[in-house]
């Protein structure tokens, strides 16, 4: 080559390099750059055959990444193993550019088949090293299809290429790394943002002097305030005036002492509404301990504040609430008590209503006896026998007193009285009621009292009377055809086992029972008898409240109530009350005294009075009842014998001797005494018939009419006493 040709050649090479250099610096596509490099180098050395083999030395693999002049299937596709014997292995091992002037003569390495296929006869190459770590990236090579001696200048030309390619690789490495870092940064920013958004605390910063320098965009969205309004000292504008002194004081303390700041304040939204916020900040200090800035958060705590406030209110008002509720409960209790009292009263009135039939009858008797007495007085006056009329006057007065006593009792019973449990002697209550019950049961029902000394119980007397009366009425209703009603008191101890059976606490009890021999109850009625409003009676005759009221009453008094009933045989209702031992001693003593002292009163002895003179008979019955006896009356012997059969206890027969009908008083006494020899007899007679009197004396005592009330009671007492003595003697 001539020197001018050489010069031209070099100039051409420099031009090619310069063009490539520009592309290498700004080109955005590495493959395009490598392709341009191959093209330029092939052109520069006049072979138009060149390639760039990229090396992955770790994997010991190579591939023909770029090239010009090659048959198809080589560039971009040919992969080669990096192993001894290959031209590349050799090139990397010698660490300088390699020239093969004639590959046919080579013994340093063997060509690859694709090189042979492309008739490669000579080549020159340079290794491209990565600038940052000097690792070989690839081999840049110009091939020739004819043997050729490459010059030093050719090698330099390629070296210039190699360094440009290396720089290019570095540029792409750095851009890739940057891009990757950027992507990572963006991702982490995204995450941070999400975390901040999820966090109810909105971040802000302030400078060392406490002027706000930034606040998260969410604050503006949330409060509706412009960011600028918040910056610097702007926050003071929308802080609640009442909270200002506190927040300023706290902030000054924190600024001065560089300690964390934490307050709860009211801030105003642009809606004008104040809400509660928690504002916190802590200082960021430099190495010298000087404050750089403050990191803070602001958090809406209005929900929490509201909750706390209502809790506080609730606590503050608790006492008021409790007393209000207590007042309400007391009020309700009062209303309930009033309603109960009304119900009790209506129950009583119902019982009284049920009694009126009987009372009317009884009143009639009393009136009859009064008018009989008056008539007798009239007769005596008319006959001029005024000496005796005082007795009739007394008898009439007694009846008047009886009637007054009866109305008094009724009125007392009907009077509305408050529930007042106190210690009472049930015997007294029963005895007090006995008279009224007896009078109202009608003539076909025999009333018996069987009272033992039982001690006291604690309950409301009125209620107990009400219960007894209701039970008596139930019994009367059950004995439509007559029968016996027994009121009984008993003392009994409930032991552990019976207590369990009867569902009662073990201990001493007083049992008050009412027994009848009426129709009894069927299983079905028995099961429902205590149900309120359960009744088997016709409308107007029963409300179905009696037993349920009594049930409630016994429960209230700490007791129990039980029914024993057999269909067509009878019923006993038993009320159990715990014995009240408070007055037990007194009571028992009283009972004992009462028993030992000779009493001029009766003790429930059953006396049958037979007289056809209604006035006298009734006066006698009145008197006897008054004195504590249990008198029954009959108008003649036939009805007396019927009564006698019904009564399973008759202590004394008082009979007129002259009676209407076939059987006179003497015969009656004989017949009855034959049936029950212990029966004591007292004859009352208006006739001075000596015979009758003598015969009468063999059977009992004889009292002549007219007699005084005192005389009658003396005779009755002594008649009964003589019987007692007689039976005593017999034992």
As a whole number of angstroms, the distance between CA 469 and CA 457 comes to 18
Q: Which is nearer to ligand ADP, 300 or 434 (CB)?
A: 434
As a whole number of angstroms, the distance between CA 278 and CA 269 comes to 15
- Least Å distance, CB 329 to ligand ADP, is 31
Q: Which is nearer to ligand ADP, 389 or 525 (CB)?
A: 525
> Which of the listed partners (Mg ion, ligand ADP, none) does 212 bind, with a CB threshold of 5 to 8 Å by partner kind?
none
Q: For residue 151, what are the contacts with CB-CB under 8 A and spacing of at least 6? A: none
Q: Which is nearer to ligand ADP, 466 or 627 (CB)?
A: 466
> Which of the listed partners (Mg ion, ligand ADP, none) does 421 bind, with a CB threshold of 5 to 8 Å by partner kind?
none
Q: Which is nearer to ligand ADP, 97 or 546 (CB)?
A: 546
For 178, the token pair is 């940057």
For 385, the token pair is 């026998």
| Interface positions, 474-493, toward Mg ion (CB under 5 A) | 474
Residue 113 host element (H or E): helix 113-117
- Least Å distance, CB 474 to ligand ADP, is 3
> Which of the listed partners (ligand ADP, Mg ion, none) does 636 bind, with a CB threshold of 5 to 8 Å by partner kind?
none
- Least Å distance, CB 458 to ligand ADP, is 24
Q: Round the CA-based radius of gyration of the chain to a whole number and report it.
A: 66
> Which of the listed partners (Mg ion, ligand ADP, none) does 537 bind, with a CB threshold of 5 to 8 Å by partner kind?
ligand ADP
Q: Which is nearer to ligand ADP, 81 or 444 (CB)?
A: 444
> Which of the listed partners (Mg ion, ligand ADP, none) does 516 bind, with a CB threshold of 5 to 8 Å by partner kind?
ligand ADP
Look at the alpha carbons of 361, 366, 372, 375 in this order and tell me if their dihedral is positive or negative. negative
Q: Which is nearer to Mg ion, 222 or 533 (CB)?
A: 533
CA angle at 564 for the pair 560 and 565, rounded to the nearest 5°: 145
Residue 446 host element (H or E): strand 445-451
CA neighbours within 13 Å on the CB side: how many for 709?
20
- Least Å distance, CB 420 to Mg ion, is 24
For 264, the token pair is 């709860």
> By the criterion CB under 6 A, which residues form the site for ligand ADP?
470, 474-475, 478, 516, 518-521, 525, 529, 534-537, 542-548, 571
As a whole number of angstroms, the distance between CA 300 and CA 260 comes to 19
> Which of the listed partners (ligand ADP, Mg ion, none) does 571 bind, with a CB threshold of 5 to 8 Å by partner kind?
ligand ADP
Q: Which is nearer to ligand ADP, 160 or 571 (CB)?
A: 571
Interface with Mg ion includes 518 (CB under 5 A)?
no
Q: By rule CB under 5 A, what string of x and - marks binding of each residue 436-475 to Mg ion?
A: --------------------------------------x-
Q: Which is nearer to Mg ion, 544 or 686 (CB)?
A: 544
> Which of the listed partners (ligand ADP, Mg ion, none) does 370 bind, with a CB threshold of 5 to 8 Å by partner kind?
none
Which is it for strands 483-494 and 445-451: parallel, antiparallel or unpaired?
A: parallel
Q: Which is nearer to Mg ion, 546 or 696 (CB)?
A: 546
- Least Å distance, CB 512 to ligand ADP, is 15
As a whole number of angstroms, the distance between CA 250 and CA 203 comes to 19
> Which of the listed partners (Mg ion, ligand ADP, none) does 653 bind, with a CB threshold of 5 to 8 Å by partner kind?
none
For 16, the token pair is 């090619």
| Residue with token string 């770029």 | 66
- Least Å distance, CB 502 to Mg ion, is 23
As a whole number of angstroms, the distance between CA 293 and CA 209 comes to 8
Spatial strand order of the sheet with 98-100 comes to 79-81, 61-68, 50-56, 136-144, 122-129, 98-100
- Least Å distance, CB 713 to ligand ADP, is 35
Beta partners for residue 295, in sequence order? 205, 282
CB atoms within 10 A of CB 708: 13
Q: Which is nearer to Mg ion, 474 or 560 (CB)?
A: 474
| Interface positions, 366-425, toward Mg ion (CB under 5 A) | none
Residue nearest to ligand ADP (CB): 546
Q: Which is nearer to ligand ADP, 570 or 696 (CB)?
A: 570
Residue nearest to Mg ion (CB): 546
CA neighbours within 13 Å on the CB side: how many for 125?
25
Which is it for strands 98-100 and 445-451: parallel, antiparallel or unpaired?
A: unpaired
- Least Å distance, CB 664 to Mg ion, is 43
- Least Å distance, CB 356 to ligand ADP, is 16
As a whole number of angstroms, the distance between CA 668 and CA 670 comes to 5
For 581, the token pair is 């031992």
CA distances from 120 to 47, 93, 94, 142, 357 (A): 11, 22, 21, 10, 149
Q: Tell me 597's DSSP state.
A: S
Which of 42, 546, 559, 700 lies at the binding interface for Mg ion (CB under 5 A)?
Answer: 546
Contacts with Mg ion, residue ranges (CB under 5 A): 474, 546
């Amino acid at each position: 080559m001539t020197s001018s040709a050489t010069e031209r050649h070099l100039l051409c090479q420099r031009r090619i390099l310069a063009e490539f250099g520009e592309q290498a610096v700004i080109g955005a596509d590495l493959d395009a750059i490598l392709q341009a490099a191959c093209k330029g180098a092939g052109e520069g050395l006049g072979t138009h055959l060149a390639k760039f083999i990229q090396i992955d030395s770790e994997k010991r693999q190579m591939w023909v990444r770029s090239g010009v002049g090659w048959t198809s299937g080589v560039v971009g596709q040919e992969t080669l193993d990096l192993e001894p014997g290959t031209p590349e292995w050799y090139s990397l091992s010698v660490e300088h550019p390699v020239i093969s002037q004639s590959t046919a003569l080579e013994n340093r390495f063997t060509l690859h088949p694709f090189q042979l296929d492309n008739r490669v006869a000579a080549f020159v190459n340079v290794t491209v090293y990565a600038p940052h770590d000097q690792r070989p990236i690839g081999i840049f090579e110009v091939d020739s299809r004819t043997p050729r001696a490459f010059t030093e200048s050719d090698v330099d030309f390629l070296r210039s290429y190699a360094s440009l390619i290396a720089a290019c690789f570095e540029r792409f490495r750095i851009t890739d790394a940057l891009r990757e870092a950027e992507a990572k940064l963006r991702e982490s920013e995204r995450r941070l943002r999400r975390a901040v958004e999820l966090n109810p605390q909105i971040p802000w910063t302030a400078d060392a002097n406490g002027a706000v320098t930034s606040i998260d965009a969410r604050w503006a969205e949330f409060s509706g305030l412009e960011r600028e309004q918040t910056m610097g000292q702007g926050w003071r504008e929308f802080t609640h005036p009442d909270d200002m002194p506190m927040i300023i004081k706290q902030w000054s303390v924190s600024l001065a002492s560089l300690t964390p700041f934490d307050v709860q304040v009211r801030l105003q939204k642009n809606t004008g509404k104040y809400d509660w916020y928690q504002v916190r900040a802590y200082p960021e200090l430099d190495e010298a301990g000087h404050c750089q800035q403050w990191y803070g958060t602001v958090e809406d705590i209005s929900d929490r504040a509201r909750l706390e406030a209502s809790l506080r209110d609730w606590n503050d008002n608790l006492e008021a609430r409790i007393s209000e509720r207590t007042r309400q409960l007391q009020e309700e209790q009062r209303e309930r008590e009033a309603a109960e009292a009304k119900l009790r009263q209506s129950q009583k009135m119902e019982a009284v209503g049920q009694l009126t039939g009987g009372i009317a009858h009884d009143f009639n008797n009393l009136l009859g006896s009064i008018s009989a007495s008056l008539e007798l007085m009239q007769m005596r006056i008319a006959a001029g026998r005024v000496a005796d009329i005082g007795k009739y006057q007394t008898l009439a007065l007694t009846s008047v007193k009886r009637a007054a006593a009866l109305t008094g009792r009724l009125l007392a019973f009907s009077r509305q009285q408050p529930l007042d449990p106190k210690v009472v002697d049930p015997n007294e209550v029963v005895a007090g009621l006995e008279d009224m019950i007896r009078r109202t049961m009608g003539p076909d029902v025999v009333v018996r009292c069987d009272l033992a000394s039982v001690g006291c119980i604690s309950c409301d007397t009125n209620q107990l009377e009400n219960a007894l009366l209701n039970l008596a009425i139930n019994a009367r209703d059950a004995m439509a055809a007559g029968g016996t009603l027994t009121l009984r008191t008993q003392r009994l101890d409930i032991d552990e086992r019976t207590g369990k059976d009867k569902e009662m606490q073990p201990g001493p009890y007083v049992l008050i029972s009412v027994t009848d021999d009426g129709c009894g109850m069927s299983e079905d009625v028995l099961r429902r008898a205590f149900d309120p409003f359960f009744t088997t009676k016709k409308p107007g005759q029963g409300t179905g409240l009696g037993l349920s009221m009594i049930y409630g009453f016994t429960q209230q008094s700490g007791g129990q109530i039980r029914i024993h009933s057999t269909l067509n045989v009878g019923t006993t209702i038993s009320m159990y009350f715990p014995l009240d031992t408070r007055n037990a001693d007194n009571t028992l003593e009283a009972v004992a005294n009462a028993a030992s002292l000779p009493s001029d009163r009766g003790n429930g002895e059953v006396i049958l009075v037979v007289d056809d003179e209604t006035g006298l008979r009734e006066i006698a019955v009145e008197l006897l009842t008054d004195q504590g006896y249990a008198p029954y009356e009959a108008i003649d012997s036939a009805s007396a014998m019927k009564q006698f059969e019904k009564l399973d206890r008759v202590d004394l027969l008082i009979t007129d001797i002259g009676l209407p009908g076939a059987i006179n008083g003497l015969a009656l006494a004989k017949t009855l005494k034959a049936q029950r020899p212990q029966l004591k007899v007292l004859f009352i007679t208006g006739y001075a018939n000596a015979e009758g009197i003598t015969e009468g004396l063999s059977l009992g005592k004889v009292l002549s009419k007219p007699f005084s009330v005192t005389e009658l009671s003396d005779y009755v007492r002594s008649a009964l006493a003589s019987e007692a003595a007689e039976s005593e003697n017999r034992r």
